[in-house]
Amino acid sequence: MKKMNKQRVTLQEVAQHAGVSTSTASLVVRNNPRISEATRNKVLQSMEDLGYVYDRVAANMRSKSSNIVGVIVTDISNTFISEFLIGVQTTLESLGYTVLLGTTFDSVDKQERLISTMVEHRVGGIILNLASKSSARTAKQLNQIRTPKVLANRELSDVQCDYVGVDYEQGTWMAIHHLLQKGHRRIAFLGGIKTSSTWIERMKGFKRAHDDENLTIDDSLIIDIVPTREGGKEALAQVMDQPEPPTAIFCFSDLVAFGVMQELSARSIKPGEDIDVVGFDNIPEAELYHPPLTTVSSFPRSIGVKAANLLYHKMNEQDEELQRLILKPQLHIRETST
Amino acid sequence: MKKMNKQRVTLQEVAQHAGVSTSTASLVVRNNPRISEATRNKVLQSMEDLGYVYDRVAANMRSKSSNIVGVIVTDISNTFISEFLIGVQTTLESLGYTVLLGTTFDSVDKQERLISTMVEHRVGGIILNLASKSSARTAKQLNQIRTPKVLANRELSDVQCDYVGVDYEQGTWMAIHHLLQKGHRRIAFLGGIKTSSTWIERMKGFKRAHDDENLTIDDSLIIDIVPTREGGKEALAQVMDQPEPPTAIFCFSDLVAFGVMQELSARSIKPGEDIDVVGFDNIPEAELYHPPLTTVSSFPRSIGVKAANLLYHKMNEQDEELQRLILKPQLHIRETST
DNA sequence: CTGAAAGCGCTTACAG
DNA sequence: CTGAAAGCGCTTACAG
């Protein structure tokens, strides 16, 4: 809590200096056209002379509005998230909003505190990239707050809220279908938290692709673990140490795939030759990795842009219907599965 | 600009419901110990009953304080920056502050607008990772604002301000010394903007390492270009198309090095075998790249942590002396230069 | 330990 | 086209 020592120049002082009323000065700062040019210029001159700085906090307070939007994400060091954030930020900034950022590092507790903080700061709206273990308790908290909100990337059941994300089921189906066509019959599914919507959707696609070929899934090839590089390494170790290891690996995300490939290297197994690997997200590094990673685009920047636009609508029109925007994914076949 | 339709429960209503005065209720929400347990519980109960949400905006306004800190960075998709941002965020959050984030994408205009916006929002302090083309005009703007501020990663002359960064000169010296020891005599310096402090410091180290061996520098091997992957590609093309191409390349950043290596691949030149490459920053990808990149650690997360702590001090003690915190870099020799 | 009144810096009706 | 007064939801002295 910082105390401001230096006192600001107020609009009242500006008005006095310009010889007009405060209300007139207020209309000038807000560019209201019903002020005459002469008066406007006089006031603007006084503002400059005194070094006036507009106080948005006071303005927002009185007008009960806000041009701050809260954005809560799981982890900005994950390229998928930072790309998403860029989409959100550029869009909101061009609409005149500023972003209050919170990072949960996938902790539900921290997320809960951040949501409260945002609401206490009276943000105009919230964009949420939920932690993977978000629960019914989270849903309850979200439903209680009146602030317009949009969920991105990850849904949560029973939350009355707009949503923007990619079609994870279809994306996974495409990846698995591709591997099955190549003749693989033992495909591992590594990473992700089983209770999260992003995992459940992918699993549906995983199942459907197998069903299409009348194949059954070996549950021992499914490893539920945090979707990070570390998680990938550990999951790979678990699955390769089994009596019947897989011949191909579907990873929850590119980050998991990088961990998987790192551990494969450590074991002198060559991705794309000895075993096939597919990721998810198509982050910029995927293409530049060695070998380049087959993966599914999930267009994080577009998701960010759409989430921001959706929130903008929610904030400005009332009583709009809930929307769900689901982007179509795209499979990029590269060297790890050719 | 969002109008709030639903009116909030006010502290006054809470007080009324609890049968105490507003000032008492105010003391309760702020955990003032001079309120009796009985009264406190009565008020807390009323808050819960009415679903009261603390209005930090009103509180900050009246007390002329703020627990929001503005953080302005060049590009969150750059891992160096996102690591820095994580350091800043976690530190500030643990100190009870929330981050208002601005991204300039290295545009000085956008930076100028963001600084104004932050000040209008009455942030308690600002942490700035300046755009590479920041000028005297930027310095002037910064000197005018009374808000406590800390520069990170990049300095700007004539700005009266604390600074946290790494010793770029020493880091570069270490890298170049290493290459010279390996016998290289034609070392290129690719990327970075010549007017920025980060470039100037590196160039000092570049020169000093050459001077130590009584070697002169061939200016045609120095390419001034935006420090991005694209910049790296372009710079490499320029330098390799010269009659006497370099035998080793020092890159302004790891990002530049990745572009350089991508372009080398395209030309079938093998880094670490046909030519040596050294980066700067040691972002996580550097170690995992193929081949792993020799680079200099600049500890972005630590810089973030230290910048946040420094700002915290600036905001809470007055009239402190200006500080410059310069972290020692570290050379990591990997396959691109062995 | 608690209360009544004033005020942070704006905007909002309402008058003229 | 412009002005005087009230108020946004808190906190801050000041009394008691």
pLDDT digits (tens, 9 = 90+) for A62-89: 988 899 999 999 999 988 999 999 999 9
Closest alpha carbon to A258 in A164, A336, A331: A336
The answer, yes or no, to whether residue A12 has pLDDT greater than 90, is no
Contacts of A91 in chain B (CB under 8 A): none
pLDDT bin (cut points 50, 70, 90) of residue A34 is: confident
Work out the average pLDDT over B166-175. 97
> Lowest-confidence range among A19-23, A202-206, B271-275?
A19-23
Q: Would you state the pLDDT for residue A319?
A: 65
B79 touches chain A (CB under 8 A): yes
Would you state the structure tokens that stand for residue A99, as one six-digit string? 């972003």
Q: Which two tokens stand for residue A247?
A: 């011949």
Q: In this model, does residue A51 exceed pLDDT 70?
A: yes
pLDDT at B12: 87
Q: Is B142 helix (H, G, I), strand (E, B) or coil?
A: helix
For position B85, what pLDDT does the model report?
A: 97
Determine the Cα–Cα distance for residues A45 and A28; give it in Å rounded to an integer. 11
Please give the interface size between A and B, counted as residue pairs whose CB atoms are below 8 Å apart.
143
In the DSSP assignment, the letter for residue A190 is E
CB contacts under 8 A, B 185-224 vs A, are none
Where does the pLDDT of residue A234 fall: very low under 50, low under 70, confident under 90, or very high at 90 and above? Answer: very high
Distance from CA of A206 to the nearest CA of B (A): 29
Say yes or no to pLDDT of B249 above 90. Answer: yes
Strands (E), chain B: 2-3, 65-66, 68-73, 98-103, 125-128, 149-152, 162-166, 187-190, 222-223, 248-251, 276-278, 295-297, 324-327, 330-332
Split at pLDDT 50, 70, 90, the class of A1 is very low
Q: Which of residues 14-43 of B touch strand C (CB under 7 A)?
A: 19-24, 27, 34-36, 38-39
CA distance A246 to chain B (A): 24
| Mean pLDDT estimate for chain B | 92
In tens, the pLDDT along B5-28 reads 446 789 988 988 888 988 899 999
Q: What is residue A7's predicted lDDT score, i.e. its pLDDT? A: 65
Contact A98 B103 (CB under 8 A): no
Confidence band for B31, pLDDT divided at 50, 70 and 90: confident
Report the pLDDT averaged over residues B283-306: 92
Inform me whether the C-beta atom of residue B318 falls under 8 Å from chain A C-beta atoms. yes
Query: Distance between CA atoms of A39 and A137, rounded to whole angstroms?
Result: 55
What gap in Å lies between CA B15 and CA B46, rounded to an integer?
8
Q: Copy the structure tokens of residue B284.
A: 């996580």
Q: Please report, rounded to a whole number, the percentage of residues in chain B having pLDDT higher than 90.
A: 75
Note the pLDDT of residue B319.
65
Percent of chain B having pLDDT more than 70?
Answer: 97
What b-and-e string marks burial along A140-163, b requiring 16 or more CB atoms within 10 Å of the CB?
Answer: ebbeeeebbbbbbbbbbeebebbb
Closest CA to A231 of A269, A197, A262, A205: A262
Q: Residues near A212 by Cβ (< 8 Å), separated by ≥ 6?
A: A177
A281/A253 Cα distance (integer angstroms): 6
Q: How buried is B319 (Cβ within 10 angstroms: 0-12 exposed, 13-18 middle, 19+ buried)?
A: exposed
B86 contacts A103? CB cut-off 8 A:
yes
The pLDDT score that the predictor gives to residue A64 is 87
Structure confidence at residue A208 (pLDDT): 97
The rounded distance, in Å, linking the Cα atoms of B122 and B141 is 16
Q: How far apart are CA A18 and CA B159, in angstroms?
A: 32
The CA distance from B125 to B315, in Å, is 7
pLDDT of residue B58: 92
Q: What is the pLDDT of residues A182-210, one digit of tens each?
A: 999 999 999 999 999 999 999 999 999 99
Chain A nearest-CA distance from B147, in A, is: 8
Name the residue with higher pLDDT: B317 or B183.
Answer: B183
Contact list in A for residue B60 (CB cut-off 8 A) is 57
Per-residue pLDDT at A136 exceeds 90: yes
Q: Which nucleotide is nearest to A10 (CA to C1')?
A: C9
Measured CA to CA, the distance from residue A59 to residue A69 in angstroms comes to 16
pLDDT digits (tens, 9 = 90+) for B101-140: 999 999 999 999 999 999 999 999 999 999 999 999 999 9
How far apart (Å, rounded) are the C-alpha atoms in residues A263 and A267? 6
Hunting for tokens 């995983």 — which residue is that? A206
Q: Kindly identify which residue of chain A lies nearest to residue B313, measuring between CA atoms.
A: A2
Determine what percent of chain A is predicted with pLDDT higher than 90: 75
Q: Is the peptide bond before A291 cis (omega within 30 degrees of 0)?
A: yes
The phi, psi pair for A256, rounded to 5°, reads -60, -40
Backbone angles phi, psi at A66, to 5 degrees: -160, 135
Report B:132-171 residues touching A (Cβ under 8 A).
144, 146, 148
CB contact under 8 A, B57 and A315: no
From B44, B51, B55, B35, select the one nearest B15 (Cα to Cα). Answer: B44
Reported as half-sphere exposure (CB side, CA atoms, 13 A), residue B54 has a value of 16
Residues 6+ apart with CB under 8 A from B319: none
Q: Output the distance from B61 CA to D10 C1' rounded to whole Å.
A: 8
Are residues A276 and A337 in contact, defined by beta-carbon separation less than 8 angstroms? Answer: yes
How far is residue B125's CA from residue B313's CA, in Å, rounded to a whole number? 10
Q: Which of B119, B125, B166 is nearest to B320 (CA)?
A: B125
Above 80 in pLDDT, residue A256?
yes
Domains of chain A and CATH, by start:
11-54 (1.10.260.40), 68-166+300-327 (3.40.50.2300), 168-299+332-337 (3.40.50.2300)
pLDDT per residue as tens digits for the range A88-120: 999 999 999 999 999 999 999 999 999 999 999
The sign of the CA dihedral A198, A204, A205, A206 is: positive
Q: Considering all nucleic acid strands, name the nucleotide whose C1' atom is nearest to the C-alpha of residue B32.
A: C1
Question: Which pLDDT tens digit goes with each residue over B192-238?
Answer: 999 999 999 999 999 999 999 999 999 999 999 999 999 999 999 99
3-state secondary structure A63-86: HCEECEEEEEECCCCCHHHHHHHH
Measured between CA atoms, how close is B30 to chain A, in angstroms?
Answer: 12
> What's chain A's average pLDDT?
92
Query: Would you place residue A307 in the very low, low, confident or very high pLDDT band (cuts 50, 70, 90)?
Result: very high
